[in-house]
């Protein structure tokens, strides 16, 4: 095939006959087309020679102005990129050989040369030179890369089983450039034993052709004794059968990256304050242990959920710094106590969880818990303070059969709550009943939420009567929940949950508004003198609302009810739990003309002292005292005392839970002014209450 691109030849030859011969030969060929420039002297040739000007130089070494190897050297020096073919005589063959050693592409004996040989020599010279150039460039790049990169280079001759390590490779493990033999064990022998199988597997996979390249991470022992994390990348060179004969690649020190990763990983799974495992890590360990138990690789175990008693008090009274230090000391004490296989975690706040291995019986778990309680017997010395604290511990055992880590932790948590409500410093083991109760509670809460949105509540009213004259004084409003599935639900079943979840606040406002509205309707229909009153139970949570008084005023205005007809029933605990702010609100409410009643009097704490602190209008004697009447002289005496004290303080008294005529007579004998109870009427729906108003003696 004819190649149209001309090959540019610089012919340097002082013999005209030889020059003609060359011209002759190059013109004979049909495949290529040559452009020949002829120079007789070296100086003439050098004047024309520039990179890229010619594809090849045909050079006679003996010229009028230069002789021998120097002729070649000068041409080569001026333009090393152009291939040179030396034209020589038999006698100068030795010299021509030397020129080839110095970089000439070839030499041709003038006498032997024929056209095809010359053309082939020129072609090869050009190709070889181009290949040399490419090779040199790539080698330079490679060398630069090796020098510039932080990588160590290795080149493994798989046949001879020798490895070349670059100086940087050696430096990475602290070895000098002249250290390390070419034995592959210099490398693999330094790989961390735990990482070696994976590295060998990765190498084998690539040698077998299962991976496109080798890539693996491992720790390599530095000469200073430490381990460095390395990333190796490599590629196998294969023979014509596909068998790997050589493998080469790089090794990068990734210790810094690995450390950063480890740090991140550690932080993600540990509690910053105590350094203990956090909830995520604990759940992870729990899950692993649970799976091992199921596979029977592992025995049963217990999860202890530990919550400090009154930790908030310590924080509030001694400050958060002391609280934090205490948590650290407790973590330390717990960690020292546990055995190596156990896991201790801080779940947050003052909550800890412990996975205790080898526990398959409740008694064993309780025993461990007992020893943990004992750890709290000694005080903790925190910044000069001797701090005593205790813990409530809930236990769940894998022998109960668990599917997930969350379940077992949840049950331990539920048990801890049980232990806590027992007064703290105790232990509870989880059982099925607790679980069912917890589930039921959760459902109740969800139902309650929905019902408050839907308004599934109604008010029942229970008459309050004057014991002296038997006349109807007013009503206590008592809420009922119209549960979509369970029908009417009494307040004992849900008021507690409503309080805990804060749902009592919206519910409480509804109760107040509905009761006021109802009473105002009745007052218009039955204009008694004095008018009927309404008693409404008010939760302590409502007293926490900053706008509580304003809202009560708003409800009274909007229902047009006179404040003096409204009685708010509160328990003694409100003042205990809500302090001065509550006291202030009570005073404001009272100033509005609203009457305040103490509900369930006698069941709270420090009853009598609180009576002196704040002036209430009415005491409602708890029905437990009334129930005891006639059975025990003590109850009678207490009731008489309360009535006497109340009249001394100018207070009204209502006896709750009057069920029998006997109780009624006894109370009347004690000059108890008013009563409420099944004897007179159960709490009833509004229509029924209205009938009662109609039929009850009014005076
Ligand atoms: P309480 O305020 O002491 O209400 C009196 C409770 O005693 C009512 O129970 C009433 O049905 C019951 N009772 C009345 N007479 C007798 C009797 O002769 N014998 C017996 N054994 N019981 C009698 P109820 O309606 O189940 O309410 C229970 C508690 O729930 C109330 O006790 C009150 O503390 C709370 N509660 C009821 N309604 C509300 C409300 O709207 N808001 C708030 N915060 N609490 C409410
Ligand atoms: Mg009440
Ligand atoms: Mg009561």
- Closest residue by CA, ligand 1 atom 4: 478
Residue of 460, 463, 537 with the most ligand 1 atoms within 8 Å of its CB, for mutation: 537
Q: Are the beta carbons of 199 and 191 closer than 8 angstroms?
A: yes
Q: Identify which of 266, 269, 391 has the alpha carbon closest to the alpha carbon of residue 337.
A: 391
Q: Are the beta carbons of 614 and 589 closer than 8 angstroms?
A: no
3-class secondary structure for 78-137?
HCCCCCEEEEECHHHHHHHHHHHHCCCCEEEECCCCCHHHHHHHHHHHHHHHHHHHHHHH
H or E stretch including 208? none
Please tell me the predicted confidence (pLDDT) of residue 606: 46
Read off the pLDDT of residues 316-371 as tens digits, 9 standing for 90 and up: 888 899 999 999 999 999 999 999 889 999 999 999 999 999 888 888 899 999 99
Q: Identify which of 583, 517, 530 has the alpha carbon closest to the alpha carbon of residue 556.
A: 517
| DSSP alpha helix (H) spans, 295-404 | 311-318, 320-337, 362-375
480 Cβ below 6 A of ligand 1: no
Query: What average pLDDT does this structure show over 419-435?
Result: 85
- Within 10 A of 303 (CB to CB), how many other CB atoms are there? 30
Please tell me the predicted confidence (pLDDT) of residue 3: 61
Read off the pLDDT of residues 592-631 as tens digits, 9 standing for 90 and up: 999 999 998 877 654 566 666 677 899 999 999 999 887 8
Query: What distance in angstroms lies between residue 476's CA and the mean position of ligand 2's atoms?
Result: 7
pLDDT of 236 over the 50 cut:
yes
Please tell me the predicted confidence (pLDDT) of residue 31: 66
Q: What is the mean pLDDT of the chain?
A: 89
Query: What average pLDDT does this structure show over 37-53?
Result: 92
Read off the pLDDT of residues 653-697 as tens digits, 9 standing for 90 and up: 999 999 999 999 999 999 999 999 999 999 999 999 999 999 876
- Closest residue by CA, ligand 1 atom 3: 600
| Distance of alpha carbon 15 from alpha carbon 636, whole angstroms | 150
Residue of 474, 478, 626 with the most ligand 1 atoms within 8 Å of its CB, for mutation: 478
pLDDT of 302 over the 90 cut:
yes
Q: Is the dihedral of CA 9, 12, 16, 17 positive or negative?
A: negative
Read off the pLDDT of residues 438-479 as tens digits, 9 standing for 90 and up: 788 888 999 999 999 999 999 999 999 999 888 999 999 999
pLDDT of 512 over the 90 cut:
yes
Using pLDDT thresholds of 50, 70 and 90, give the confidence band for residue 699: very low
Q: What share of the chain is helix, strand, coil (3-state, %, to 5)?
A: 45, 25, 30
- DSSP string over 246-308: EEEEEEEE-HHHHHHHHHHHHHHHB-TTT--B-HHHHHHHHHHHHHHHHTTSS--EEEEEEEE
Q: Are the beta carbons of 309 and 425 closer than 8 angstroms?
A: yes
| Distance of alpha carbon 195 from alpha carbon 696, whole angstroms | 92
Please tell me the predicted confidence (pLDDT) of residue 9: 94
Please tell me the predicted confidence (pLDDT) of residue 400: 77
Report how far apart, in Å, the C-alpha atoms of 588 and of each of 287, 548, 552, 616 are: 57, 10, 11, 13
Residue of 461, 491, 597, 598 with the most ligand 1 atoms within 8 Å of its CB, for mutation: 491
Query: What distance in angstroms lies between residue 538's CA and the mean position of ligand 2's atoms?
Result: 8
Q: Are the beta carbons of 84 and 57 closer than 8 angstroms?
A: yes
pLDDT of 40 over the 80 cut:
yes
Q: Are the beta carbons of 299 and 384 closer than 8 angstroms?
A: no
Read off the pLDDT of residues 380-416 as tens digits, 9 standing for 90 and up: 999 888 899 999 999 999 887 888 999 999 999 999 9
Query: What distance in angstroms lies between residue 595's CA and the mean position of ligand 1's atoms?
Result: 19
| Distance of alpha carbon 592 from alpha carbon 575, whole angstroms | 19
491 Cβ below 6 A of ligand 1: yes
Query: What average pLDDT does this structure show over 21-48?
Result: 87
| Distance of alpha carbon 517 from alpha carbon 565, whole angstroms | 12
511 Cβ below 6 A of ligand 1: yes
624 Cβ below 6 A of ligand 1: no
Query: What average pLDDT does this structure show over 130-141?
Result: 74
Read off the pLDDT of residues 180-205 as tens digits, 9 standing for 90 and up: 899 999 999 999 999 999 999 999 99
Q: In the chain, pLDDT over 70 holds for what percent of residues?
A: 95
Read off the pLDDT of residues 477-505 as tens digits, 9 standing for 90 and up: 999 999 988 999 999 999 999 998 899 99
User: DSSP class of residue 66?
Assistant: B
- Within 10 A of 176 (CB to CB), how many other CB atoms are there? 10
pLDDT of 144 over the 60 cut:
no
Read off the pLDDT of residues 626-654 as tens digits, 9 standing for 90 and up: 998 878 778 888 889 889 888 888 899 99
389 Cβ below 6 A of ligand 1: no
Backbone angles phi, psi at 484, to 5 degrees: -55, -30
């Amino acid at each position: 095939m004819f190649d149209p691109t001309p090959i540019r030849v610089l012919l340097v030859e002082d013999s005209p006959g030889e020059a003609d011969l060359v011209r002759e030969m190059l013109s004979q060929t049909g495949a290529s087309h040559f452009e020949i420039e002829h120079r007789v002297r070296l100086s003439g040739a050098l004047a024309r020679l520039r990179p890229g000007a010619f594809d090849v130089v045909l050079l006679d070494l003996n010229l009028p102005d230069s002789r021998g190897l120097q002729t070649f050297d000068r041409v080569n020096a001026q333009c090393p990129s152009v291939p040179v073919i030396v034209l020589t005589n038999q006698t100068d063959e030795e010299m021509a050989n030397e020129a080839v050693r110095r970089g000439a592409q070839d030499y041709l004996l003038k006498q032997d040369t024929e056209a095809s040989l010359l053309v082939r020599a020129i072609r090869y010279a050009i190709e070889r030179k181009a290949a040399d150039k490419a090779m040199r460039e790539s080698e330079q790049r490679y060398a630069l890369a090796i020098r510039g990169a932080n990588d160590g280079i290795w080149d493994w001759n798989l046949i001879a089983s020798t490895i070349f390590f670059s100086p940087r490779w050696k430096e990475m493990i602290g070895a000098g450039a002249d250290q390390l033999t070419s034995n592959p064990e210099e490398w693999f022998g330094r790989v961390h034993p735990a990482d070696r199988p994976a590295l060998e597997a990765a190498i084998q996979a690539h040698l077998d052709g299962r991976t496109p390249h080798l890539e693996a991470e491992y720790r390599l022992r530095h000469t200073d004794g430490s381990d460095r994390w390395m990333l190796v990348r490599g590629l196998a060179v294969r023979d014509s059968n596909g068998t790997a004969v050589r493998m080469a690649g790089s090794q990068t020190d990734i210790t810094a990256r690995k450390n950063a990763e480890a740090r991140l990983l550690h932080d993600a799974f540990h509690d910053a304050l105590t350094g203990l495992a956090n909830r995520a890590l604990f759940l992870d360990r729990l899950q692993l242990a649970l799976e091992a138990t199921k596979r029977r690789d592992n025995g049963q175990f217990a999860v202890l959920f530990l919550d400090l008693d009154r930790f908030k008090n310590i924080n509030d009274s001694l400050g958060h710094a002391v609280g934090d230090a205490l948590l650290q000391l407790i973590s330390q004490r717990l960690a020292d106590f546990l055995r190596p296989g156990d896991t201790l975690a801080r779940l947050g706040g003052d909550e800890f969880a412990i996975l205790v291995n080898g526990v398959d019986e409740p008694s064993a778990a309780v025993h461990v818990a007992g020893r943990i309680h004992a750890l709290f017997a000694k005080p903790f010395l925190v910044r000069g303070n001797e701090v005593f604290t205790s813990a409530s511990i809930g236990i769940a055992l894998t022998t109960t059969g668990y599917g997930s880590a969350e379940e077992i932790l949840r049950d331990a948590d539920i048990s801890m709550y049980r232990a806590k409500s027992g007064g703290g410093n105790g232990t509870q083991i989880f059982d099925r009943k607790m679980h069912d109760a917890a589930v039921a509670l959760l459902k109740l809460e969800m139902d309650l939420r929905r019902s408050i949105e839907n308004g599934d509540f109604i008010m029942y009213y229970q008459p309050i009567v004057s014991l002296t004259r038997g006349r109807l004084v007013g009503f206590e409003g008592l809420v009922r929940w119209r549960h979509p599935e369970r029908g009417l639900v009494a307040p004992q079943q849900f008021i507690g949950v409503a309080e805990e979840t804060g749902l009592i606040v919206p519910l409480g406002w509804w109760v107040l508004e509905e009761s006021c509205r109802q009473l105002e309707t009745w007052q218009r229909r039955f204009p008694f003198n004095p008018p009927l009153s309404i008693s409404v139970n008010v939760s302590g949570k409502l007293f926490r609302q900053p706008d509580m008084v304003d809202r009560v005023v708003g409800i009274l205005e909007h229902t047009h009810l006179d404040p003096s007809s409204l009685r708010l029933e509160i328990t003694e605990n409100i003042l205990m739990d809500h302090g001065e702010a509550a006291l202030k609100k009570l005073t404001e409410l009272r100033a509005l003309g609203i009457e305040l009643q103490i509900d369930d009097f006698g069941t709270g704490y420090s009853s009598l002292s609180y009576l002196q602190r704040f002036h209430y209008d009415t005491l409602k004697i708890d029905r437990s005292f009334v129930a005891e009447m006639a059975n025990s002289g003590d109850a009678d005496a207490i009731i008489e005392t309360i009535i006497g004290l109340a009249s001394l303080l100018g207070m009204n008294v209502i006896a709750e839970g009057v069920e029998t005529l006997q109780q009624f007579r006894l109370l009347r004998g004690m000059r108890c002014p008013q009563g409420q109870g099944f004897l007179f009427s159960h709490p009833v729906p509004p229509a029924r209450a209205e009938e009662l108003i109609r039929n009850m003696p009014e005076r």
